Amino acid sequence: MIHLFKTKIGRLRIIAILEGISLLTLVFIAVPLKYGLDNPAFVKMMGPIHGTLFLLFLFNTLSVGVEQNWKFKEITWKVLLACVIPFGTFYIDHKILSRL
């Protein structure tokens, strides 16, 4: 796991996993708590964390895409789309990022 911190792609993979976990936490735990039990505290806590990870993921994806000369129509758009779909970042990590 330490080796992932040494490259930009490795850091992108770590951010992708963290962003995916934060999205799943928000969608499947925090939002049901907010609307089902009328308890918005977890959304208030997770919202900014997820937002920060989301922006980090976007900026790092674009940075790695430029550095690695990714073609937007082949790789970059898929990686960017993954961060708005639950489980998407895990799929992209497995199918694209782990192979780079």
Give the span between the Cα atoms of 50 and 86, in whole angstroms: 13
Give the span between the Cα atoms of 53 and 34, in whole angstroms: 21
Burial (CB count within 10 angstroms: exposed 0-12, middle 13-18, buried 19+), residue 83? buried
Q: Return mean pLDDT, the chain.
A: 91
Q: Give the pLDDT score at 97.
A: 86
For residue 96, the SS3 value is coil
pLDDT tens per residue, range 51-97? 999 999 999 999 999 999 988 888 899 999 998 999 999 999 999 88
In the numeric block, the tokens 């992708």 are attached to: 16
Q: First-to-last CA distance in the chain? A: 16
Rama region for 87: left / alpha / beta (φ>0; ψ in -120 to 50; rest)? left
pTM, full prediction:
0.89
Domain ranges of the chain: 2-96
